[in-house]
Structure 1
Amino acid sequence: MSGYTQPVELRTPSGVSVATAGPTGESTTASERLKVGLQVGAVYRFKAEGIPGYESVAVYPTVELIDRTYPPCGREAEFPMPIELTLEDLRLAAQGAFVTRVVYVEDPKTALPVSEEQLGGQQWFEARPGDDPLVVADELGRPVAIVRLGARTTGPVAQAAYAEPVMMH
């Protein structure tokens, strides 16, 4: 696969680690903030563990980039696309629920002129039952990624469908 490599930073709550998932479930070095390079159109699999109340359970979220961001040239690594795996979503996945989250970039005409930190973290909107979360995100801005949580197993057959991210520092 060739093309632009989008810097992405996966963020987890304190104590929860995230890492890339290997072909048989093993993973790379885990972190609460994992910086990787992903390409549009591919699906990437990760491993999250250490979820409070579910410490013995690992979940395997996937990230599918459907668009990219446009940071200043030569400074792309300074402005990774943030993707938060919330404690609530991780706990739901550990319990066996399937969670879909669409990450979108706000419409610049209606965006609030404040940082995520000032807002208390990455903002999100919950779609009503029966609503397509991609359609809802498209109405709110420009969708850039689809995050799916719910898989609690991995293996060579399942892993074959996923791309390998580029590790960034």
Structure 2
Amino acid sequence: MTTVRPLRCVPRKRGLAASSVMLLATLGGLLPSLPQHSAAETPKHWLHAGAMPPGAIGNQRLLRGGPLYGYTQPIEWRMPAGTSIAATGPYGETTDRSERLKVGILAGQLYRFRVEGVPGMEQAVVYPTIELIDRTYPPCGRESEFPIPIELTMEDLRLAAEGAFVTRVVYVEDPKTALPVSEKEAGGQQWFEARPTDDPLVLADELGRPVAIVRLGARDTGVLATGCYAEPTPLADAAPESEVRPASTH
């Protein structure tokens, strides 16, 4: 799921797409096939909300115990052509700049990255952060082959560069309701737009199992604030497109 909060008036396009193994949602119109609640349904109490402070959900998730604590989850950033991303630390970038960046992250930590090269806005710099709130379960010893794919669209980057704050929730589909369509057949990672009144984290939980929260903006928090962010573990380069496999489900 993704939430877009305009910090100032920002024109925004709307778009919808079908589901795939990893789904994202952005504010806007919602497909009619998504869950609709009736007045007769018993309301659920949600422990977490998409508007909670960065890092809070991951830390609360660790308190439940289980195999998440201490697990280095591989993720892979996939950027639009012409743009590049790198992890940041107290003294600058800590990884090479690339269109596809694979790193390992831990739950309970907040990681910040730096994106450059938005077409038509070459001077703009966008700072996405990611918070891991759950993990995937790939075959033992092959974890780096099954990273959580995180694709940022050109519209995401332009919205952030123009002053909007975008929140995406990445989740694994429920295998009972997932469409039998691969990312390659669908033309890339698919996503849904959520309505402005929907909490993207709650909606993602209804559609599958949320695993990560990506927050995207153009505000530089400065050198003094970099101590709030952890440094990810660099992993091997991404596999060729023909070898990229979707992350495991439940």
TM over 0.5: yes
Q: Give the C-alpha shift of residue 144 in structure 1.
A: 0.4
Give the one of 172, 180, 189 matched to 1:122: 189
Aligned position for 1:16: 83
- CA contact under 8 A between 1:105 and 1:144: conserved in structure 2? yes
Equivalent position of 1:98 in the other structure: 165
Query: Residue 78 of structure 2 contacts residue 100 of structure 2 at CA under 8 Å; is this kept in 1?
Result: yes
The answer for the alignment partner of 2:244 in structure 1 is none
Aligned to 1:71: 138
2:56 aligned with 1:3: no
**How many matched pairs?**
168
Structure with max Cα Rg: 2
Structure 1 counterpart of 2:72, one-letter code: T
Distance of 1:154 and 1:17 partners within structure 2: 20
Secondary structure of 1:56's counterpart equals coil
1:159 and 2:218 aligned: no
Instruction: Report the counterpart of residue 36 of structure 2 in structure 1.
Output: none
Contact 1:44/1:63 (<8 A) preserved: yes
CA–CA separation in structure 2 for the residues paired with 1:114 and 1:18: 28
User: Relative to structure 2, which stretch is displaced further, 149-158 or 35-44?
Assistant: 149-158
| Letter matched to residue 147 of structure 1 | V
Cα distance, 1:25 vs structure 2: 4.3
1:109 is aligned, of 162, 168, 176, to 176
What displacement does 1:43 show? 1.1
SS in 1 for 2:178: coil
Is 1:43 aligned to residue 119 of structure 2? no
Q: 1:62 aligns with which of 118, 122, 129?
A: 129
Whole-Å Cα distance in 2 between the matches of residues 112 and 127 of structure 1?
Answer: 19
> 2:40 — aligned with what?
none
Q: Which runs of 4+ in 1 moved over 6 A?
A: none
Q: Which residue of structure 2 lines up, in the alignment, with residue 131 of structure 1?
A: 198
Asked if structure 2 preserves the Cα contact closer than 8 Å seen for 1:27 and 1:47, the reply is no
CA separation in 2, counterparts of 1:153 and 1:25?
12
Partner of 2:26: none
CA RMSD of aligned residues (A): 1.3
Worse overlay, 22-31 or 111-120: 22-31
Between Structure 1 and Structure 2, the one with more strand by share is: 1
Higher relative contact order (Cα pairs below 8 Å, separated by 6+ residues):
2
Displacement of 1:55: 0.9
Consecutive unaligned residues of structure 1, counting only runs of 5 or more, are none
TM-score normalised per structure 2: 0.65
Q: 2:217 is matched by which residue type in structure 1?
A: G
Amino acid at match of 1:30: R
